[in-house]
Structure 1
Amino acid sequence: MRFTFILSMFLLILVQFIGHISAQAATEPLIILQEQPFSYDIGSQVYLLEDPSGKLTFDQVRQQPTKFTKSQQEAPVYGPSSSAVWAVFRVRNASQENKWYLEVGSSFLQEVDLYRITANGGFEIIKSGAGQSYETRLVKTNRLILPLNLPTGTEQTYYARFRSRNILRFPLQIATMTALYEKNHTIDVLNGIYFGLLFALMVYNLFVYFSLRDKAYLYYIFFIFCIAADTACIRGYFLEFLPEPLAWMVNIRVFAGLAILFSLWFTNAILQVKQYLPKLYRLRWIIILSVGIIMLLNVLRLYVWSFAWMLLSFIPVYLYVYTAGILIYRRGFKPALYYTLGLAALGVGILIYICKDNNILPETAFTESSLQLGSFIEAVVLSYALASKFNFYKLEKEQVQAQAMQQAIAFSQELIQSQENERKRIAAELHDSVGQSLILIKNRILLLKKRLDDPEKVARHADDLTETVAHTISEIRGISYGLRPFQLDMLGLTQSINGLVDEVSEGSGIDIRVNADSIDNLFPKEQEINVYRIIQECLNNIVKHSAATSARVNIVREDGLVHLSVEDNGKGINPTNATNSVPKSGFGLRGMQERLSILAGKLQIKSAVPQGTVIQITLPVKPVPVATTVTTREFVS
């Protein structure tokens, strides 16, 4: 019995020992460093333990080796996670090189701690990561490089702890400093070219902004700066240059959130979304609210939720910008095509990079640099889109100027023809009316001389002569009044308009009502004739074309504005032809437009209710501190 008991205890101890050795062997895979090669990717050779709470200590982790599981990925990834992940691996240095380093491929990891078990059973720790001051790094570079302190011929177990505020992904590599330098040198050169080109684009467009004062260029500069700054945070460059109190900007990807905001403002500025797509423009608040939620989650220190929400925010952002770009391009705004292609390049780059971060795509030179390549193409294409926008509006302006020049030439030709016709009319009136009257006066004077001996005939001829002279004077006054109304100089603009309405109403048989504020002395004297002629043309159009029986003229004076409206109850105009602009045909209306251009006024023509036409005119004036009087007159034929 005693022998059996001793044998059982021995077997139990042996089983526990073998189990401990097996567990230790399972959680401490041996990585042998040899003379060649000088770098080893160990991501798939480590054993991993996830700590969701992030509170496990090194001693607690070391006491539960059976909970570690072997990594199945070259670059272990846990997605957006607040967990801490422990990795354990054992290394034997079979080379002549004494200085080997562990490089962690994700420079933006918040915490990277390397534990090394010492000979006396204790441990030493090396802390790194974006959450640590840059000055405390043993190897001062943008990458997370930690010394293994593994002499030749020795063997050592290491534990590493990783934690992130974004994507929890940690490619692992053991290499010599020479190998790391040779590998990273090319990457640093390419990154330098990338940031240099973005800086050159920002400086160039800054000078263009100072020249044109177009806010689209300013939003472009801030947008590209945020993209470059976020890339610098991902690559680990920004932490070196930021003061330590601002290091939090690297950890929470604040520049990515700002890039979303500036992309929205840039989109609205370059594509003029408010003008072309007002309904879509109102949805911008969804994106602004999303950015606000990102910032709020960061303030609450819910960093992983903030990052996840930022990834979700790309969905409404890209729906907004692509919808705006495509729809506005289809409306004829060609720069929208370049804008859409530029944003597409960035979107593809981001998508490839996210797929690489989640091990959907392999980590290659192309996938690793896809974010920078996409953002660089986007920056160049968007800069071209801004130049295209400038050329588009320049060409449009030249076309408008050419059209305006053609219209001005046509108007000048019609004006000259109108002046010639007016001269012919005046000449005909002078010849046929005044000239004939003067001949008649001359003949009657001659006849009067022959009959001086007959007093009755002299009196009768004198009366006829007086009547002829009076008629001639009246005709001369009518001709003169047609050239310039004398009331303007004698009675003022308001009374002249009243007299004009009186004359048109009596001559046409149309019931015209006037409600007019006093507008005397509001316009320069040389411009009052233009106001008078505009109203005269409106009344002439009613008489000639409207077949109206009544009309109404309203003149309302406000601070800085005079509102004129002429409304009739005639046959009106076709609603499809009623626009806010002046018709392209009709010399009278075009003449009105020319006079309004001189007065800096606006004209609107629309249908009246239930029928008729309304002509509304707005004229800017300088406010004059005088009492406003209202004159209301009715003319009934």
Structure 2
Amino acid sequence: MRRALLLICFMAWHIPCLRAQYNLSVLEDTARTLTAQQALDIYKNGGFSKLESAYLNPGFTNSVFWIALPVRDTAAAKDLVLLADNAHINHLEWYALKDSLRLLAVTGDFHPFRQRPLVHNTFAFPLNDGAQLYLLKADKHHESLQAPLIIRSRAQLQAQQTSEALVNGILTGIVLLIILFGTFLFITTRDKVYGWYALYVCSMLLWIWANKGLGFHYLWPDSYFFPSRARPVFVLLNLVLSLQFLKGFTGIRKGHWMYAPFIVFQAIWLIMLGMTLWPVDYTRFVQTNFYLQRSLPLFSLLVIGFITTGLIMQAVKGNRPSIIYLAGISVLIGFATLETLYHLGKIQLPEFFAHFGMFTGVVLEMIIITFGLAARFNTYRKEKEAALLAMNAQQKALTDTIVTVEENERKALADRLHDEIGSMLSLASLQLSAAQENPLGSETKLQHAGDLLKDVSHTIRNISHQLTPVAIEKYGLLHAIEDMAQLANASGKIHIELVLVGFSGEKEYPRNFQHTIYRIIQELLQNILRHAGASHALIQLIEHEDACSIIVEDNGKGMENGAAAPGFLRSIHSKVSYLDGILQIESEPNQGTMVNIDLPLPGKN
């Protein structure tokens, strides 16, 4: 309750500063050669200029600045602190003039965090030395320098730190939840857009932490190399990841007019990122760094203008993700503009928005886009459910077909047993009965009965082979197909030509796979023999690297393309579907038929 009340007070009430009681003055050292004593002498001679707004804002500069803070009541000043409210000043020196000029502290983001006079995300300098004059040297040459100079009591500073820690914690927690949400969706759906979103939000959070000095405070407090590079690194990384996410979120693919420019922009930013992270002391290349830092905002603004124009065009066409992204980015740009104008000294903002405007804009943008991603995930879930329903319906239809085919096969088997086996056994029984009743001519009758029983045995053997191709088990798939073709050729009604390629290691394939291939070829051949009226047929079974092809051609009477599939084709289609294959049929009346089947090989695809 106490922290919540403190947060509300911090958001609604601008903590009063004491700058009106103190006159700050500034001296610009363009040559960057002045010592502290020389700066003090110039101050005593009236060479400093009054800092009207207590806001040091030269922008991009090549100079060093000296700020003078005279103190009238040294006793009252012992409880005060001078706050340079910018976490990214490279080098600061803090001097006090009492009996003599003394150096009290050296700090900045070129120095370890522990060198700061007071633990604070920006730079706080206590006025507790009893001095009548304090000098602050601020050095950020060849970069942009903005530093609001605020005098506060220690109690006010403590209240500000407590409130800022609470707000930073709340906003960081929200962003971390969004990152976890994006990561969860990526793991669940394997959709890359959620993964890019999680990385994009993470880079944005790191940039916010770097911008507010939290990164230097908690993540890289002893680094000399990274603090001054942290903000441009995370800005560039964020720009690259934002475009990567945007391409997936709004559906910008190859061939889209925005795709190629996006690739170019990302390449330029990655080059800038490599230059920024180049492992050398960039102070040796200050002029190059100066141009790099000045070109980055200009180039990024041009790109943002291009992207915004493209998104507006997409939104006008009804692209829902573009509308959502525009809404989110508009909120962020609004808050970013306000905070930038504040840091440039152009406007005054309430304390909360002055310190957390950008962070708040980021959180609101992420919340808006997260709602869009949640809607996308909901659509994905519905599509998946619809696909599962369709798959279930297809599976049911396939099962019904298989059951129907099995029933038809049982009926055909029953009819054949009844018509062929039953009739032959009846005739054999009659011959045997006649031989018993009339011994005369019994030898002839017994011979006829024996011939009938041999036919029964032969027929039963054929039926058995049709039910379970024993030849596959004994001699292999290729030999079984050859036997099948030889039996057909023995009838003298048709000539079957075989082309068998591969399957030398067919034993490695499952038995069910080989049996199904045999059944498919068997059914196609039986259809040719029974219905096609063909004199010639070609059967090809070819094993490829990861699939096999079955091609069966005949010169029979054919059938109309687009006509309803005969029952035998529905049976074959069910078997092909069972093996995840593809069935194609080409046929015309009196022009024969060609059936082309492609089946993936088990374990190869």
- Same topology, TM > 0.5: yes
How far does the alpha carbon of each residue in 1:292-316 deviate from its partner, in whole angstroms, 9 at most, with x for none? 4323234251544454565446876
- Is 1:168 aligned to 2:145, yes or no? yes
1: distance between equivalents of 2:455 and 2:419?
A: 13
SS in 1 for 2:418: helix
SS in 2 for 1:173: strand
- 1:521: which partner in 2? 507
2: distance between equivalents of 1:204 and 1:341?
A: 20
SS in 2 for 1:438: helix
- 1:28: which partner in 2? none
Q: 1:190 to 1:244 in 2, by over 3 A?
A: closer
SS in 2 for 1:109: coil
How far does the alpha carbon of each residue in 1:357-386 deviate from its partner, in whole angstroms, 9 at most, with x for none? 455665444354222112323455566677
- Is 1:436 aligned to 2:420, yes or no? no
- 1:227: which partner in 2? 204
Instruction: Tell me the CA shift for residue 424 of structure 1.
Output: 2.2
More deviation, 95-104/369-378? 95-104
How far does the alpha carbon of each residue in 1:323-364 deviate from its partner, in whole angstroms, 9 at most, with x for none? 899989x999x9998778666655655455445445566544
- 1:189: which partner in 2? 166
**Stretches of structure 1 lacking an aligned partner (at least 5 in a row):** 1-35, 576-584, 623-637
Tell me which of 134, 138, 141 is aligned to 2:117: 138
How far does the alpha carbon of each residue in 1:585-634 deviate from its partner, in whole angstroms, 9 at most, with x for none? 9443132222x16xxxx5476999xx966432221359xxxxxxxxxxxx
Q: Give the letter aligned to residue 295 of structure 1.
A: G
Q: 1:557 to 1:38 in 2, by over 3 A?
A: closer
- Is 2:199–2:241's contact at 8 Å kept on the other side of the alignment? yes
- Is 2:18–2:151's contact at 8 Å kept on the other side of the alignment? yes
SS in 2 for 1:521: helix
- 1:411: which partner in 2? 398
Tell me which of 607, 618, 637 is aligned to 2:600: 618
What count of residue pairs does the alignment treat as equivalent?
560
Residue identity over aligned pairs, in percent, reads 18
More deviation, 214-223/94-103? 214-223
Tell me which of 471, 479, 491 is aligned to 1:495: 479
2: distance between equivalents of 1:185 and 1:358?
A: 26
2: distance between equivalents of 1:248 and 1:39?
A: 36
RMSD of the TM alignment (CA)?
Answer: 5.7
- 2:84: which partner in 1? 104
How far does the alpha carbon of each residue in 1:508-560 deviate from its partner, in whole angstroms, 9 at most, with x for none? 667553334424422344553123224445667889899997656243365xx
**Stretches of structure 2 lacking an aligned partner (at least 5 in a row):** 1-14, 283-287, 563-568, 588-592
How far does the alpha carbon of each residue in 1:569-598 deviate from its partner, in whole angstroms, 9 at most, with x for none? 9999999xxxxxxxxx9443132222x16x
- 1:531: which partner in 2? 517
How far does the alpha carbon of each residue in 1:167-187 deviate from its partner, in whole angstroms, 9 at most, with x for none? 421222334444444555433
1: distance between equivalents of 2:431 and 2:513?
A: 45
- Is 2:204–2:234's contact at 8 Å kept on the other side of the alignment? yes
TM-score by length of 1: 0.66
- 1:566: which partner in 2? 551
- 1:635: which partner in 2? none
Q: 1:454 to 1:231 in 2, by over 3 A?
A: closer
SS in 1 for 2:111: coil
Q: Give the letter aligned to residue 599 of structure 2.
A: I
2: distance between equivalents of 1:68 and 1:321?
A: 46
More deviation, 546-555/413-422? 546-555
SS in 2 for 1:246: coil
- Is 1:421 aligned to 2:401, yes or no? no
How far does the alpha carbon of each residue in 1:386-437 deviate from its partner, in whole angstroms, 9 at most, with x for none? 7667665555444444333333333333322222222222222233333333
Q: 1:273 to 1:500 in 2, by over 3 A?
A: farther
Q: 1:148 to 1:379 in 2, by over 3 A?
A: same
1: distance between equivalents of 2:259 and 2:487?
A: 54
Instruction: Tell me the CA shift for residue 319 of structure 1.
Output: 7.5
1: distance between equivalents of 2:304 and 2:602?
A: 43
SS in 2 for 1:171: strand
Q: 1:444 to 1:103 in 2, by over 3 A?
A: same
1: distance between equivalents of 2:291 and 2:485?
A: 74
- 2:573: which partner in 1? 589
Instruction: Tell me the CA shift for residue 110 of structure 1.
Output: 1.5
- Is 2:203–2:234's contact at 8 Å kept on the other side of the alignment? yes
TM-score by length of 2: 0.69
SS in 1 for 2:508: coil
Q: Give the letter aligned to residue 556 of structure 1.
A: E
SS in 1 for 2:77: coil
